[in-house]
Structure formats: C-alpha cells, structure tokens
Structure 1
Amino acid sequence: MASSRGGSKIKELSAERIDKSFAASLKAHKTPEKLYLIEKNNKSNPPEVIISFPASGVFNDWYSKTTFGETEIDLKLFRSLKSIGNNEAAKVNQFFLQRFKDILAKSTLEEEVERAMKKKKQIVFAGHSSGGPVAILAALWALVNFPTTKFPDRIPPICITFGSPLVGNHIFSHATRRENWTDHFFHFVMRYDIVPRILLAPLSSFDQKFETVAQLLDPKSKSFMNESSLGRIASTSDFYFEVMSNATTVTRHAACRLMGTTEATLETIANFVPLSPYRPFGTYIFCTTSGNEGKQIVMKNPDAILQVMYFCAQISSEEETEEVPFKSLRQHLTYLAELVKNFGKQNVVYLDQLENLPLSEHTTSGGDIATINIALNDLGLSTRARLCIQAAAALEERKTNNEKSMLQKIAAVEDRMKALDSYRETRGHQKKGYYDAFKDQLDPEDFQANVQRLELAGVWDEIIEKLLNYELPEELEGNEDWKNIGTKFRRLVEPLDIANYYRHSRNRDGRVYMAKGGRPKRYRYTQRWLEHFEKRDEGGYSESCFWAEVEDLCHDPDKPFDDVKEKVEALEGFISKWHEKGEVGKDVFLGDSTFVKWWKTLPTHHKEQSCIRSLVEV
C-alpha cells in the first residue's frame, strides 16, 4: 500500500544534505564562469563531497539542431545507457551532453571523482535548473566509469536536482532502471514549476515574445533567477500555455498506450506533430505548499511520474488562470524554503503501490489512505489523473506477470535442456562430435534433438520478443540468473541451429549465417546480454557461433590463404581463449569434426605456428 510514514525512507537524503546541495547549486549559479564547484565536508559520516554545476544557456539553446534537441548518448562515456535487446543507444539532450563533455575535457573532474572514490567519500552531484541535467550526466558517468569491480569499497554517488529539465528518452529511463540506479537520483519538482516540463514542447513553440522569460533562465542575463523580474514579464501566461498544450499531447498519447487504447484523433496528430522523446527517470519528489506546511510526494514509476508532471500543473478554475502561470516561474526560484522546512517530517508521502490509490478526491477513509488522498488533492490530481497513474501501475504488474509466465515456460522445457545436454555429452565421445552428428541426422537421437531444439527456440523467441517490446520488467535485463539461463541456452542450442542452416544449404547465393537476417534474434540478444554483464565489446562471432565462420571458410576453399589469413588467425585466437575458459567442448577437436577437417587443409607453415596446434588431433 502507498504509505505516509514520517521520517525519510530515503536514507541518502536528509534536510541537511538537501540544504547543502541546494545552497551549493545556487552558489554555482553565481559563478557561471566556473565549470563546477566542489565543497567538502569531512565532519560528516561518511565524509561528503558536493559537486555542483551552474545553469547554462537559455532554453532556446537547449534544442541545438533538432526539434527537441535530442541526440544519441556517447556510449564511449556511458556504455550502459542503451537497450540491450534493440541494441539502441539512449537519446539525451545534445546541449547538456556537450556541456558535460566540455567540462570533462577542460577540467580535473575525473581526477577529483577518482580521488574521492578512493577515499570512500560520499559524492553528491547537484544542480538547480539547467545545472540539473549536467549533474545527472556527471553522476551517470561516475556510476558507469567507476564500478565496484575497480573500486570495490566505493560509496556509490548520488545526484540531487531541483527543478531540472528532462534529459533523456525512454531508453535512458529503461537503462537506469535495469542497472538499479533509480535510488541514486532524486529530482525535486515544485508542483507548478514549468522548467521540468519545457522540453516536452518543440523549439518551434518558442519565439521572440518569450525572450523575457528566457532571460530569467539565462545565467548571462541580469534578470537571471531574479524573482523581482517576474512582475515585468508580460508573456508569462502565453509561455505557460504553450508548454502545457504540448505536454497535453505527449501525456495523453502515453496514457493511451498505458491503457492499451487508441484515440483516432490523437494518433492522427501524433503522425504529423512530433512528440517529445524526453521521459522522467529516477526518484521524483513532488513538492506542494499549503499554508505554512507542504507535502512531498515520492514516486519512482517513470510512466506515472510523467502523468503527475502534467496533471499537477493544470489550472482547475478560472481564478487560477492568471495565478498558475505566474507560479509556474516563481516556484522555480523558491525551492530552498519549501524543501528544508518540510522534508523528513510526517508530510513526506511515499506512493509505493500505485494500483491502490483512491480514485476519488472525496475519499473519507481514515489512516494512510486519508493522508495519501490529502497529498493527492494538494497536487490537484483528478480522477482522470489517478486512473492514468493506476494504468502505469497496471503496466508494471503486467510486466511482472509476464516474467512469471516466462519462468514457468522455461521450467516446463527444462527437461529438453537436460536431454540436449545429455545428447551433447554422448556425441562428444564419438568421432564426429555434437555439431557434426546433428548436421548429418543419421540416427533417431538426432531427430529427437531437432524436436527439442525447435521447442526451446520457440520459448526463447517469445521471451526475446517481450524483451524487445519492453513487456518484461526493466530489472530483468540486469538479473544475473536470467543472463545465465540465456547464456546456457545459447551455447547449447545455437550450434544446432547453425548445423541445421548449413545442412539445408541456406548459405547458397552467399547468404551467410552471421549476416543480417541470418542469425536469429534469440542468439544475438543473449550474446549482447552476456557482453553487457562482462563489459565486453559487442559484435563478431562468439563461442556459440564460431561454427558458422568455419562453414563459410569451408565453402570457399579456392580462396588464397593470404586473403583469409587474418580471419583464420583471429578465429584460432578466439578458440584458444574459449577452450581455456571451458566455453567450447572437446568434441570440437575430434578427428572427423568439420572444424578439424577444415583446419588440416591449411598451409603447413601456418599449422606449425598455430596457437591451437596442440589442441587438434593430428
């Protein structure tokens, strides 16, 4: 059930840490010529280092060269920020990415972070306004590039932002959930603050009439973060309505997908009007004000957060038509007073199980439900908003149920895996071995192995399709047990798929197995899965598909050795390494195997110097 217990369940946060992080962020604003500021507190336990980043650019700058300013993340710096299944890099805001890369290149940030890690200090990356996305990217960079394998005793860094614009797309959010980084990122958002919502609108929405609004967010302007300048901004209402009208299309489209429905008009609009790619990620803390007290609503479901970002900033009455647009900018400047005053008290509400939220704002139940309902009312969440939140929760439940169903299917075909394992062991003691016996299909056992191969492939095809369509929990991709199951399946079954491929001469007309469209997704995916876990480079053939490379070399015997020498030596190097790790069976080196027959045809001078000479039966 959602809860309203007092005290912070978020152990990384305290009123003092929030206070210091926000103060550091404001201090960074005042020195925009400095790339970042570092404040150290050796008296805290553990010792703390706050790295804060100033705001940069104006919102027109945030869009760079595209409609929404998005670009692919640099995987050399952020190798984990991608979809493993679709092999697609996350998209992030180009301006903020370049800002961070410039900081990394022109400063000693890397040395500072490494030094703090080695000294087991708690690093806090902080940023307010457009300093927030840079703090986010810095924290992600630190998580990716300073893993526990290199720094086993390090304290994971955290990131605290205040009124930060969105920074990445759905793959960005997916990848951070897969890596279990949600609890490392805390984004404070005042109920009406418009800045976290700006990038839901395209660049074409803004023109010169919003220049005075832009100056409020431009660190080079005299009006920057100046609350007294608000009264002179005539275009406040137009700016608010422009952003929110675009947010309407984005969130309604997202809500329809959550509910599994479509609105014909909305789909038509989406085909012609580009939708913002940006989505929330991490832990969001929505802040409301009510008299002398406020509430802070903590959420982690990114789909639900997007809906709340939209609905809580809505105008609910005519009286609010002038008031809310003004608040939407004013609240961006007034975080400190609200946050430190309220965080960690009885007014912190944690929305854990969103499917149980009360749908009516007039719910009269007592206890936690009443407290939660008051908080939802403070956010101005209507019944429609609550239904959208519940739809987000229902999607999470469907993903969890899908995982349970897939595990049941794997358990149901476990006997097929055992039978294939036994088949491999038996054939490994014969002269031809596992691969070649299956390829020849001379015995009833070979036919039965083919039936088992097809059944296992069918189950994994279903699993992979659900992963590719994001119909399974994001955390599943980061689950080592699932990775191990997938790796075992790939190593056991793919050699049989390759044998079947070449047995039926599907390589005719030059259609090799490893080419696009040849190798099934179930193997490409599970190989990338292992490579991601082991932080290895992607691509090429693996221990489960080297047979395809051998077959291709066999089918082109007239090619001069010098033309394939580099490929042959690379293959031999891989085989030697895989043999040392026990990732290829001994039957590969049996006298009548396809591999050994091919290898014996190589020039004598090459064989005599080969790194696998001692492994091959001669």
Structure 2
Amino acid sequence: MSLCDSVLKFTSTIAKNYPGESVLRSPYRPFGSYMFCSTQGAACIEDREVVLKMLYFIMQSTEENCVDRVAGSCISYHTGYGQMLENITECLFNETNIANPISNSSFEMGIALQMEAIGVGAQNEHALLATRTAGEVKNKQDMNIAELNYKLSNHQSNMAELEWYKLCCKDHGYYDSFKEHNNKKDIHADGCRIKLANFWDEIVKMVENHELPGDFQCQNKWINSGNTYRKLVEPLDIAHHYRHKGDESYLSPGVRPHRHVVLEKWMKDKEQTRIGRSDRTKKPRTKFSSLTEDSCFWAHLEEACKTLASLQQEQQQLLVINSELKGGLEKFEDYVWNRIKVRSISAEVFLEESSFMKWWHQYRQLQLQSPPWQSNSPLFNFMEGESWKLEI
C-alpha cells in the first residue's frame, strides 16, 4: 500500500470522528506545527487531529479517488517549492477576501480564510466543521490548562508542608515515621498526601480523556512537577499501604496507584529523548540524593523483609534453605547496590532506626553464616566499611 493510500484509508475514517479519537485509530501521528501550502496561500495548523483531517480533505479535493494524481500533485508542490514561496509571499501582502462570506463572526471568517489558503475551499462543510470543533476543543483545553496552573500553584504549599515534614523526621526517617507513628504531625502530612493525590488523579484523568493538549505530558513543567511529586509522596503511599494492607504486595499488578505509573512513564519517555545528548557531560553523583530516585524503593524493601522473615523461619525449623527465597534476597541486594553506586537513594535510608538498616542487620547475620555468600557481596563490603556514615 502506498503512502497516499495509507493516508486516505486512515484519514477517511478520522474525518468523520470527534477530535481526540483519531490518534487512537491512525498509526500516523503528526506532531509540531504543519504549514499547508497551495497556490492560494498557506495556513499553519498545530492540532494533530485537524492536520489528519486536512490531509484527507486536501487529497480528496485534489482529485476524487485518484491516488496517482494526488501523489503527482505532492511531487509537483515539492519541486515547485521556490515558486510556492513567492506565491505565499504575495498572498501575505495582498488583502485576502472570500467571495461569499459564510458568517459575520471573526472566528468563523478566520476558519474560512484558512480553508481557502489550504485549497480546500471555504464552502466545504465537513472541513469547516472539523476545524471549528477543533478550535472549540482547543479553547476548552487552554481553559483547563489555565485552571490547572492555578491549582498547581496552590498545591505548592502542600508540597512545602511535606518537605518540612521530611526534615522533621531525622531520627526514624521520612518513610518509617509516617508508617509507624500517628501523631498530629503525621496526620497533617496525610492530609497533604490525599490532597495532592486527588490533584494528580484529576490531571491524569483529563489527559486520558483528551481534555488537555496532546503534548501536555511532554512539557517539562508538568513532567518535572509530576516527577518531584512522585518521588516525595509515593513513599508515603507505600507506607500507608503496608500499614493497612501489609500482606498484599504494593508491587502486585493493579495495586500501585495509576497516577504514579503514568507520571513515571512521562519521565521515562522524556529521558528517552535525552539519551546521548548529555551523557558525555553528565557528572556522576558524589553524594546521596535528597529524594530516592526510584519511588518504589520502600515497596521493594518491604517485600525483601517478608522474604528474609520466611528464610529465618526455615532456618529455625532446621529446614533446607529455599533457593528461591535466597535468590530473591540476592536480587534485592543487587538492586540496592546498583542504586548505591550511583547515589540515587536518599541518605535517610542509612539512619540507624530505618527499615532498611533493620533489614540489613538481620540480613548481615545470614551472610555471616554463609561465608561464600558474603565474599561475593559488594553491598556487604560497602556496609561493613561504613563509608556511608560520612554521607548522612
């Protein structure tokens, strides 16, 4: 199937659909600003649903059901690019009029002028409807963005409250204080946690319902805000989960809140576009991070604590050590060591009363009983050297 056949096939369905549904139906996803040029002028369109619809209408109007001639016109436009620029420049300096104005509305006339410039024609009702609807959707999306910006600004106070709460938890650590205690300070932090969860749930829902611009989740402002929220607040969500549902793994499918899954995906997608750009100049960390980069770290730790408890119980009962349980602990050990190497975990992990240090002291005893095990353990050697004490 040729490119023109493909575009006609998919955009013929898209042209009849409501904006927001087309991207799910078509394998071709336009992005950025598109400038449609014709002998009548040019028009710049950013909305990707409208871009697909205009491609369909242009191909249809160029020559009905004649793909070869459409392709020929495309080649002609490309080879005559210089002349096309001259025509567009002339159109910009000349007053553009429509023979039969369709409305007294400046908005409607603006749409009609775009249709004329693209070469579709101001009287094409389907094209006008598609562009008008997209314009209304865009206006609504812009209003939603403005409202979310206002809400984000207001919620900065909740983030600041949780930052302050974290600083106050110097003895037990941020995660363990929230999980184990129930004083006024923890209750206030829980209120901030719930308010922020509702806000980000609302954003994720709006994105998935196409109530925000298509590139919303690619914007640095929202990626960075979401990533900071996830790293600061998800440990509290994990603590809340294990305080009330300790037997159920937070890492099981469908348990982790959807907002965290989505926000993490936004960050990973953005990082994929940065690969190779800054790797050469990026300096390795020399100190532990203020926030643990992997916001699920504490969930992995909770599951490792369960595994260790099961292994200790087998030892007490003089049973043969389950190789699967031992393998699970070794896997977690590698997981922790890989994050220590790049300093992507918070220094509070090493506080003496933290869940991690309690796990470590028990795990260390298990290693000491198995010399071949400890000799191959970078984490064991690092912890025994206690160099981490200089960084907390």
Provide the TM-score with structure 1 as the length reference. 0.48
Q: Is the 8 A contact 2:41 2:117 kept in 1?
A: no
Change (3 A) 1:300 1:521: same
Aligned 8 A contact 2:216 2:222 in 1: yes
Change (3 A) 1:391 1:358: farther
Structure 2 counterparts to residues 129-144 of structure 1, below 5 A: none
2:354 counterpart residue number: 593
Residue type matched to 2:47 in 1? N
Q: Is the 8 A contact 1:476 1:482 kept in 2?
A: yes
CA distance in 1: counterparts of 2:52 and 2:217, whole angstroms: 23
Mapping of residues 51-450 of structure 1, within 5 Å: 59=1, 165=3, 195=4, 198-201=6-9, 247-254=11-18, 276-289=26-39, 294-314=40-60, 327-328=69-70, 330-332=72-74, 334-335=76-77, 338-347=80-89, 361=101, 372=113, 375-376=116-117, 378-382=119-123, 384=125, 385-428=127-170, 430=171, 432-450=172-190
Mark the CA change 1:528 to 1:313 in structure 2 (over 3 Å): closer, same or farther: closer
> Is the CA contact (8 Å cut-off) linking 1:280 and 1:302 kept in structure 2?
yes
CA distance in 2, matches of 1:421, 1:479: 24
SS of aligned partner of 1:531: helix
Q: Tell me how far apart the structure 1 counterparts of residues 271 and 115 of structure 2 sit (CA, whole Å).
A: 47
Q: Are positions 1:555 and 2:312 aligned together?
A: no
Q: Which residue of the other structure, out of 513, 520, 528, is the alignment partner of 2:250?
A: 513
Whole-angstrom distance in 2 between the partners of 1:370 and 1:512: 54
Match status 1:527 vs 2:264: yes
Note the C-alpha offset of 1:393: 2.3
- Cα distance in 2, alignment partners of residues 358 and 257 from structure 1: 32
* Pairing 1:466–2:206 present: yes
Shift of 1:503: 0.7
Q: Do 1:596 and 1:616's aligned partners in 2 also have CA atoms closer than 8 Å?
A: no
User: Following the alignment from structure 1 to structure 2, what is the Cα–Cα distance between the partners of residues 534 and 389?
Assistant: 34
Distance 1:444 1:359, change over 3 A: farther
Cα distance, 1:616–1:532 mapped onto 2, change above 3 Å: farther
How many corresponding residue pairs? 340
Task: Give the deviation of 1:348 after TM superposition.
Answer: 7.0
Deviations 1:226-277 (A, max 9, x none): xxxxxxxxxxxxxxxxxxxx7543311245969xxxxxxxxxxxxxxx9654
Counterpart amino acid of residue 116 in structure 2: A
For residues 329 and 420 of structure 1, what CA distance do their matches in structure 2 show? 59
Distance 1:490 1:397 in 2: 30
Q: 1:284, CA displacement in angstroms?
A: 3.8
**Which of 1 and 2 has higher RCO (CA within 8 Å, sep 6+)?**
1
SS in 1 for 2:253: coil
Measured against aligned partners, the alpha-carbon deviations of 1:570-605 in whole angstroms (never above 9, x if no partner) come to 232144146x35x51x33222222111111011235
- Look up the equivalent residue of 1:411 and give its one-letter code: S
Residue type matched to 2:356 in 1?
A: F
Distance in 1, matches of 2:225 and 2:242, equals: 26
Mapped to 2, the partners of 1:327 and 1:427 lie a distance apart of 71
CA RMSD of aligned residues (A): 3.9
Checking the alignment, whether the CA contact within 8 Å between 2:11 and 2:52 is kept in structure 1 is: no
Q: Which amino acid aligns with 1:494?
A: E
Bigger Cα displacement from structure 2, 556-565 vs 462-471: 556-565
Q: How many angstroms does 1:551 deviate by?
A: 0.6
Question: Residues 369, 558 of structure 1: CA spacing in aligned structure 2 closer, same or farther, 3 A cutoff?
Answer: closer
Q: Partners in 2 of 1:462 and 1:359 — Cα distance?
A: 47
Cα displacement (A) at 1:485? 1.5
2:330 to 547, 566, 570: 566
- Match of 1:497, SS state, is helix
Asked if structure 2 preserves the Cα contact closer than 8 Å seen for 1:311 and 1:381, the reply is: no
Of Structure 1 and Structure 2, which has the larger fraction of its residues in helix? 2
Give the match for residue 457 of structure 1: 197
TM-superposition CA deviations, 1:540-559 (whole Å, max 9, x none): x9532211111111112223
TM-score if structure 2 supplies the norm length?
Answer: 0.72
**Residues 327 and 380 of structure 1: CA distance in aligned 2, closer, same or farther (over 3 Å):** farther
Quote the offset at 1:295 in angstroms: 3.1
Residue 401 of structure 1: how far off its partner (Å): 2.2
* Structure 1 position 489, deviation (Å): 1.0
Say if 1:438 and 1:499, in contact at 8 Å, map to a contact too.
Answer: yes
**Bigger shift: residues 397-406 or 495-504:** 397-406
Distance 1:591 1:411, change over 3 A: same
Measure, in 2, the Cα distance between the counterparts of 1:372 and 1:589: 66
Tell me, in whole angstroms, the C-alpha distance in 2 between the residues paired with 1:371 and 1:365.
Answer: 11
- How much does 1:420 deviate? 1.3
1:456-495 to structure 2, matched below 5 A, reads 456-495=196-235
Matched with 1:496 is 236
Q: Which amino acid aligns with 1:401?
A: M
For 2:295 and 2:130, the matched residues in 1 are separated by 45
Residue 325 of structure 1 deviates from its aligned partner by: 7.9
* Residue 278 (structure 2) aligns with: none
Is 1:610 aligned with 2:381? yes
Deviation per residue, 1:92-117 (Å, 9 max, x gap): xxxxxxxxxxxxxxxxxxxxxxxxxx
Q: Could you tell me which residue of structure 1 aligns to residue 316 of structure 2?
A: none
Please give the alpha-carbon distance, in whole angstroms, between the structure 2 residues aligned to 1:415 and 1:435.
Answer: 20
Tell me the CA shift for residue 410 of structure 1.
Answer: 1.8
> What secondary structure sits across from 1:286 in the alignment?
strand
Contact 2:116 2:122 in 1 (8 A): no
Structure 1 residue 517: deviation in Å?
0.7
User: What is the CA–CA distance in structure 2 between the aligned matches of 1:423 and 1:519, rounded to whole Å?
Assistant: 23
Rounded Cα–Cα distance in structure 1 between residues aligned with 2:124 and 2:205? 34
Decide which moves more: 568-577 or 419-428: 568-577
AA of the residue aligned to 1:558: S
Q: Which amino acid aligns with 1:550?
A: L
Contact 2:230 2:295 in 1 (8 A): yes
Shift of 1:402: 1.9
Match of 2:382, SS state, is coil
Provide the rounded CA distance (Å) in 1 between the counterparts of 2:329 and 2:155.
Answer: 42
Between structures 1 and 2, the one with greater strand share:
1
Please give the secondary structure, in 2, of the residue aligned with 1:514: coil
* Structure 1 residues 284 and 415: alpha-carbon distance in aligned structure 2, compared to 1, 3 A threshold: closer
